[in-house]
Chain A
Amino acid sequence: MREITFSEATLEAMAEEMERDERVFVMGEDIARQGGIFGQFKGLPARFGTDRVKDTPISETAIVGAGVGAALAGMRPVVDMHFADFIGVAMDEVFNQMAKIRYMFGGQTTVPVVLRAPDGIIRSAAAQHSQCIEAWMLHIPGLKVVIPSNPADAKGLLKAAIRDDNPVIYFEHKALFAKKGPVPEGDHLTPIGKANVVKEGTDVTIISYSLTMAKALNAAEKLAEEGLKAEVIDLRTISPIDTETIYKSVQKTNRLVIVHEAVKTGGVGAEIASLVAEEMMDYLDAPIVRLGMKYVPIPFSPALESLVLPTVDDIVQSVKRIVG
């Protein structure tokens, strides 16, 4: 299969969906003239015009709010947040409007909006341009939340998100944009709500997603060298969580490690650990381990920034401790 970058995969998804459905349009800061700060919109304006690929003022509440309003008026907007951190500026539009409109109005309408949110640590962008905030979104009934870890899912999940009639937050790690991988051509859809068992194993389940999947897989390789067979699951969708796949794996391996880049406290790992503790306690042979970012704003200096994230070795050591 041909290999393209994560960024190119999202671009292909956008172009295919805009071609397929004229109600799809995209707006955000610096996306038309500049092509997106990561080049992820390059070429779209030439193909679809600057009405459907629209540069907006630096007005996050207006961008997200207008996305919701346009959806209510029959469009299928994709809204680019520039940086996931800026969702904070438009939080009322996300959690009081977008997430609640369908339910609060008794199912009279749908809200097919996709919020694209580049997240994660890259090149010392510091505290306000580096965060992973998916757990915040998981806490809001009415939203779907997806988070690809590779180019194929980047395309498949974006296309699925655009076709979904529910509001979807699409997190895309900034350090993934340049990564290459095989991507199917044409109509490739990744189902929302389905995790992916990337590597099968019997000794421990390691759940991760997004950029941190690479660390999880790397740790699994190292563990294999020591004779430990880790099952590695790429969550892909944060909301709704694919509990079926998780429970099935835990029933098999009896041990669970969850690792993500977002702050450990109150993170997605905490939710998964709680679910497994509630439903699968009888199958557990060891305490659940959560690994995540340390409980601090992300510091600027590389000397400090490099200390906040869980490492491959952290994962390996955690597994060894609970397999013991």
Chain B
Amino acid sequence: MKKISKEVVEHFYTTMVKIRLFEETINEHFLKGEIPGFVHLYIGEEAIATGVCANLRKTDYITSTHRGHGHTIAKGGQLKPMMAEIFGRKTGYCKGKGGSMHIADFSIGMLGANGVVGGGYNLAVGAGMASKLQGNDNVAVCFFGDGASNRGTFHEGLNMAAAFKLPVIFVNENNQWASTTPYRTTTSVENIADRAVGYGIPGVIVDGNDVFAVYEEAAKAIERARAGEGPTLLETKTYRIKGHFVGDPEQYRTKEEVERVFAATDPLKKFREKALAEGLLSAKEMQEIDGKIAQDIQESLEYALGSPYPGPEELFEDLYVKGVC
């Protein structure tokens, strides 16, 4: 493994803690009935978005999923407009028109969470196509779940990206659950990465709960894409700790199973153990980060709760771009 700078190590921890605390805060306020709609939490999967996005530039693109808060945070999204959006406020990223499932920040190449499972592949393919046409080396990363790997868009997107050698990295987050269905009961292969052979591209499997491993494998795939060598299918093995959505009664699995798995896979716990054992970060340094992030999350919450809801005059705003042609 190549040497990772302390700055990057701190970034890993800061980002993962930020995602974890953000999600826990959302969970709490959703259960209090303060958040409309549905929310899908990224708890337990923090290492994936963090490790992948740590390799990206601001000008690179990502497409996200309905479980997208972690992707936005890892790509450099701001907590305040994210929180405000989830609470349906005017100051949110989407002025309250998107909500949890539709957060985007185009200023950092975050091309949107997507309410349609498997809706992101081809948007990423198009962004990769744009990079190639524009003659730059920006890449596009498409995050998608194990359930989404069974959409037809998976096939069309991977084939086209491979056929045109586009700079796209397909990052599968195999959290074992397609909504309430164990992925293995509805999926033809054990490993989603096995499907890469059908497209003539590398298929790589990595421990999705190990941010260092994700970072390293993603770096290879991203370098390959930047060099014009085409896409990679990177499968990150993880486990969905929370229900499909907040409030999911989770009748399809036992609490014991979740607790047992999480004890072994919690990416933050794994990080802390490794950081301490290898002297990468001290307990004190991590506590300082925890405190700082807790404060940032609290501020974003206050910002959201103190923000107005959009007014009726905004209903038709942004439907069409006016005054063109």
Contacts and interface: CB of A to CB of B under 8 A. Distances in A.
Given A56-B160, A108-B106, A62 B123 contact: no
A192 B324 CA distance: 10
A104 B98 contact: yes
Nearest to A143: B320
Interface string A57-72: 1010110111111111
A128 interface: no
Given A61-B122, A164-B325, A141 B319 contact: yes
Interface in A43-81: 51-52, 56-57, 59, 61-62, 64-75, 77
Nearest to B152: A61
A68 B122 contact: yes
Interface in A31-53: 51-52
A191 interface: yes
Interface residues of B, number: 50
Most chain-A CB neighbours within 10 Å: which of B96, B160, B320? B320
A109 interface: yes
Contacts of B156: 57, 59, 61-62, 65
A192 B322 CA distance: 12
A65 B121 contact: yes
B160 A59 contact: yes
A66 B102 CA distance: 19
A72 B140 CA distance: 12
A62 B125 contact: yes
A69 B122 contact: yes
B321 interface: yes
Nearest to A59: B156
B325 A65 contact: no
B98 to A, nearest CB: 5
A97 B119 contact: yes
A70 B129 contact: yes
B285 interface: no
A177 B98 CA distance: 41
Contact of A106 (B93, B127, B160, B320): B93
B119 A96 contact: yes
B61 interface: yes
Contacts of B211: none
Contact of A75 (B92, B111, B130): B130
A65 B125 CA distance: 8
A157 to B, nearest CB: 10
Contacts of B96: 106
Given A62-B159, A92-B119, A191-B325, A69 B94 contact: no
Counting from the closest, the 4 A-B pairs by CB-CB distance are: A69-B126, A65-B122, A107-B318, A106-B94
Interface of B: 61, 63, 92-98, 102, 104-107, 111-112, 114-116, 119, 121-134, 138, 140, 152-153, 156-157, 159-160, 163, 317-321, 324-325
